[in-house]
Structure 1
Amino acid sequence: MPWIWTDTVKEKVKAKKQCYHVFLKSPTNWQRYRMAKSEAKKTVAAAKASRFEDLYKKLDTRE
């Protein structure tokens, strides 16, 4: 879904990946990875909802 990939989403997913790689090296970083994963998930969901809302508005009009 490339239409979801905004700059904000890219940054959050990149941060999540970095935290994951740090977690793999040291299991004590599990909490930081979980927080980054949660933030990335929320950001993707918000972007997806916003795009679908725009799409549904366009479908209701006769453009």
Structure 2
Amino acid sequence: MGTTITYKVRFELVLKANELFNKDIKYAVIWPKEDINYFWVNNALKFGLTVNIFPTVKAGKIWLLNS
């Protein structure tokens, strides 16, 4: 499957994250830059999750520490 996934799979991941993630914790998702799609983030935010997606661990750490 790789990192290019369908919208159906992306939404299934949102539903699973909503089930498993603690809404009091911020999550940084690291994903290859060429395959980043904010569909997942936008839908996760609708469920009250605090998430963002980044192409590098460094960028994710900066977001986690500064917001």
- Shared fold, TM over 0.5: no
Higher strand proportion: 2
Could you state the TM-score of these two structures normalised by the residue count of structure 2?
0.29
Q: Which protein is richer in helix relative to its size?
A: 1
